[in-house]
Every structure is written in C-alpha cells, then in structure tokens.
Structure 1
C-alpha cells in the first residue's frame, strides 16, 4: 500500500514523463499544389474531358458593363465572392471514338504562371498532344489560342485547326490591325499580332481549315454561330445517343453575376448588345431543353445545366461521377 507522499511522487513523475517524451514531431509540410485539372464524363458514346488551363484573378467590378460596381459586388456577395474573382480558364476534349477533338487550347505562356496548364492536364488525363486530331476554336482571343504554339513549335503537331472564317479573316487583316489601338485588351494591335504569331505556323503547314457558319465538322459535332463577343465567335454542339452538350465559348465570363443578370456585359465584347441577346438566347434554349452546357470561364469543371429563374437563370453544376 502506497503512502500518500509516495502517490504524490508517482503522480509527479507521470506528469514529468508526459511532457518529456522526446522531441515534438513537426506536422507534414503543406503540399501547396493543385490536383491535376481534368474531369471526365460520358455523353452517349462520347467521352468528354474538361481541361483546366489554370485561373486568373479578374477585376470583374471594372470589366463588367451595363451595370455598376456596387451591383456587381452585391451579386458577388451572394456567392461569397468579391472582386477580383479567381476565374477558371477551360478547354474541352471530345473523344468520339474516331477522332480526338480539342475545343480551345488555353492561354499558353502569355498570361503568367497560373495559366498555361492545359497540355499538362491533357497528359494527366491520359492523352498526348500528338493524339489530338482536330482543334476547334471558339474565337481568337489569346487566352483561347495561346496554347497552339509551345517553344516556337506546333504544340499539337498532328491537329487540323478550325474556326469560323470571319474570325480569322478579321484577326489576320493588316488593315484591321492598323486601325486598332495600342494596348493589351480586346481588339488591340497586340491581339492582332498574337493571332498572327500563333495561327500562321498552322496555316503555313496546311493545317488551318476555316468553316463558315453552322456546319457539321465531324460526325456528332457541329459548329453554331454565337455572335457578339468577336466577329466570328462560335460555339460547338456535341451529340451522341440522344444526349447533347453545348460548348459555348465566351458567352459568359462571371457566373456569379451573369446567370442571375444576363443583361450584364463585358468590356471584351465587340458588340455588347449582340452578345447580351445571344447569351439570353443560349441560356433560354439550354433551360427549356435540358441539355448540358459548358463554357470557357465557368468555374471548373464548367459542366452543368441551366434553369430559368425569374428574370434570370440558375447554374446547376453536374453531379460528381467516377465513370463506372
């Protein structure tokens, strides 16, 4: 039987041992790196892979038009966001079983370290750039075509590049370039020069084949005219076994604002009124018919459905799937 002073001594020893069990182990270091940015679903017999090119903080309170900065901030707050908004830049890979088609190529190296990740994510998704058969461009702003060239060479050496003829005619026109202002946004001399630098190597290699208007480009994929953002802005409809997906390009830039308020426009639009009308038309059709919708600047993976809600719309992202 321990005496009281012995019990006290044992307790003191236990306390000392508890605090002297050796050096404390540090927690595992933070990885501080994103997971590979790809997400895959099936559309009938077609495999659709969303590819993230990265993100960029956009001062949306300054670039959105037909509204006010206060209204923009109020709309963002509903989604627990504030300007600048970290904005996704996405491309989409469609494997029809016969062709591998890439819609838009990302920004390449011209927009800083947080963009230009599309090719790395394409590889992470199990493909190689050499396997891409065709590239369909929604338009020729640099964040959509910047990935065409890498280290001065064709990034997709076996691909045929396709876009609406009006788009390339506009951006490759020396007359249009000479009229354009200096700068870095919209239809500036800088944009014209970038288009020429990125597209000319494919033209010289006989790998650029423009189309006109709404046409079937390969079985199951057709283009459609989507006016307003640029002179030849296009979208692409993918269909297989009665399932349909619209790849809509730049009809929307800020989901937290422009779904609820589709009349809000953006400074990058060449014709804001036309872009506004086209956005409402595309949202309304997707809402009525219930097909899948995707766009380059919706939050990754940028695939979902649209529901009409009051005078605006609601975005419903796809449910997660492991593709059994």
Structure 2
C-alpha cells in the first residue's frame, strides 16, 4: 500500500473512531445516570378544597367530584304553546356550538360543589354532594372535608338548597348518617314535595330516583330528630339568610351569606352548563319542576348579581365555583375568582 493510500484510509477512520467514542460515552453516561421518566403515572387529583375569607367568615369550598353531564338529554327550552322541549329540537346545534366556543364538547364534566362556612361560632355546610347516589364518580366530600382540616363531627348545621340527589345524598352515604352532630335544614316547601309518596307517583319517571334518594338520605336525621325544615323570613344563623327561589324545585332556596359588609350568594342550581346558560339564560333543564319559573329566576339573579357585584357560590360551575357575574352588551359572563394560594388571613 502506498503512503498516499494509507494516509487516505487513516483519514477516513479518524471520524469513525470519534463517532464510536461519542456513542460509547453516551451509553456510559446513560448507564451511570438512571432515567426517572419510567416513574408510574399517579392518576389522581389534588384534594378538592378551596378556601377564602368572606369578611370574618372562613369559606371552604368542597368538591364532591364531577360527572358526565347529559347535555343532549336534559337541556330544554320553553317554547310558546309547547312548554319545555329538548333544546336540540328548539334550537338544533346550539348546545354544541356554544360548547365549542368555550373549547368544550360532550361529554362535559359537571362539578358538584358544596360550601363549608366557619362563622366563628358555628360550622355550617351548604349542600352535601351526591354521596353514594351517583356512583363512583362522586361522594368525595367527606374525604375533602377531612383534607381541609375539619371533621364531619364538627359540623353543626347543614343547609340544603333543595332536595335533588346531588345536594342531599352526601348527608347519608349508603343510608348512614355522616354528620352525627348536625341538624339538617331545607325549605318546608321542598320537604313537603319530595317526601310525599303521592307526589312521587305523579312525578315524571326522570325524577323517581330523586324521591327515593331523598327519603333514604333524610331518614336517619328524621329518626334522630335532627331534620328541621325552615320557612322564609328570618336568618337561619347570624349572617345567613334563606331566599325563596322556586322553579328548579318547588322549594329551591338561595342562601345569602354576609359578613363585615361582604356578601356571597349560594345560588344552588341556577346554572348547570355555564358555557350554554350564560350566553343563553333561557336554556332550562328537564329536571326543572317549573321550567318557565326557573328561567325567570336565572334571568333575575344574573341581572341582580351583575349590578350588585356580590360573590357567587355555584354548585355546578367548574370547581371551586366561586366568582362574579358580569354583563356587557346585553350578555352575561362568568368571572371566576382569581386563584390565591397564599395563607388565608383571618
């Protein structure tokens, strides 16, 4: 081999040797430093509670979970002469179009929120979630209450906006009293309606499970003398006043919570699908006892909340369901609370 040929061959081998060295070093480093990307996916959410101060009251929002909300099955609209008919018939495509504007599509996850109020002298729970009545999706309120630093035994009173399953079920999962020291209160109108066998027989089949869930959930409290329906016109506790808001159910109630000049309206089931019902408040639900009355209540409270600027605590707006209603150019908007992760100042 000539010296020229040898030099040419050596020149070709040098880059190859260098590349091999790089590969060897890479393999050595990889072997020396184990990868952590193989860690298993955890698959769970953080505990579902959010805390804020309203004046001198501490409010802790508790998530009971989320569930796929049957948008196309239960959204309705009142059409003159026809009553409430499915929204997909009254305005085909509207639900999907409004959801798409909010980057959503069915199935939409519906939040189930409850509100724990520490007034300084009492611990009061407003609504209780679904408990065991909605299956494995929900029933997380007790665990989240404990994660928030409280015990079910510390709860003094429970105020229910109404007696649908996803508001009453949490007081007695699987029929067992969860809050042994608490008195349960709901409007006398709702109690009279949902605890009546006659009303159950006359109600649409869609609501039959609600009646049965109510009876099972309330029974241990009734038996213990801890179920005390209320009438309107006075505070249930200093700073907490029930307000009649029939429509969704015959005795549906708001609760206005006031402390040191600050106010929050716990409005129960005014809104189920925010992306649809804020731009179109006339959208009602198959679950409404009186759809037209429920629509009127929604329009009224949207307008008042936008004008007055008080806080809203919403049962079914994405957790934690705390924010304000705003209005612009004839349309209503939901403004969620800005997340504040700093320690709650008392």
Contact kept? 2:256, 2:263, Cα under 8 Å? yes
Aligned to 2:23: 15
Aligned to 1:266: 285
Taking the aligned partners of 2:152 and 2:15, their CA distance within structure 1 comes to 74
Greater shift after overlay, 77-86 or 26-35?
26-35
How much has 1:10 moved relative to structure 2?
A: 4.6
Aligned to 1:160: 183
Q: 2:311 pairs with 281, 289, 292, which one?
A: 292
User: Counterpart of 2:257 in 1: which secondary structure?
Assistant: strand
User: Counterpart of 2:128 in 1: which secondary structure?
Assistant: coil
Aligned to 1:277: 296
Taking the aligned partners of 1:111 and 1:119, their CA distance within structure 2 comes to 15
User: Counterpart of 1:91 in 2: which secondary structure?
Assistant: strand
Aligned to 1:201: 220
Greater shift after overlay, 43-52 or 10-19?
10-19
What is the TM-score with the length of structure 2 in the denominator?
Answer: 0.88
Aligned to 1:37: 48
Greater shift after overlay, 96-105 or 6-15?
6-15
Are residues 202 and 17 of structure 1, via their aligned partners in 2, closer, same or farther at CA, if it must alter by over 3 Å? same
The RMSD of aligned alpha carbons is 1.7
How much has 1:195 moved relative to structure 2?
A: 1.2
How much has 1:253 moved relative to structure 2?
A: 0.6
Greater shift after overlay, 63-72 or 94-103?
63-72
1:71 has 2:94 as partner:
yes
Aligned to 1:318: 337
What is the TM-score with the length of structure 1 in the denominator?
Answer: 0.93
Aligned to 1:99: 122
State the number of aligned residues.
318
Contact kept? 1:215, 1:224, Cα under 8 Å? no
User: Counterpart of 1:112 in 2: which secondary structure?
Assistant: coil
Taking the aligned partners of 1:11 and 1:224, their CA distance within structure 2 comes to 78
Greater shift after overlay, 65-74 or 289-298?
65-74
Tell me the alpha carbon deviations over residues 59-79 of structure 1, each in whole angstroms, 9 at most, x when there is no partner: 213311114340111111110
Q: Which has the higher helix share?
A: 2
Q: How does 1:128-277 map to 2 (within 5 A)?
A: 128-181=151-204, 183=205, 185-186=206-207, 188=208, 190-277=209-296
Name segments (4+ residues, structure 1) moved above 6 Å: none
Long gaps (5+) in structure 2: 1-9, 78-86
How much has 1:215 moved relative to structure 2?
A: 2.4
Taking the aligned partners of 1:14 and 1:254, their CA distance within structure 2 comes to 58
Tell me the alpha carbon deviations over residues 25-45 of structure 1, each in whole angstroms, 9 at most, x when there is no partner: 351221110110100110000
Tell me the alpha carbon deviations over residues 60-110 of structure 1, each in whole angstroms, 9 at most, x when there is no partner: 133111143401111111100012211101100110000000001100112
Taking the aligned partners of 2:279 and 2:232, their CA distance within structure 1 comes to 29
Tell me the alpha carbon deviations over residues 192-217 of structure 1, each in whole angstroms, 9 at most, x when there is no partner: 22211111211111101111124200
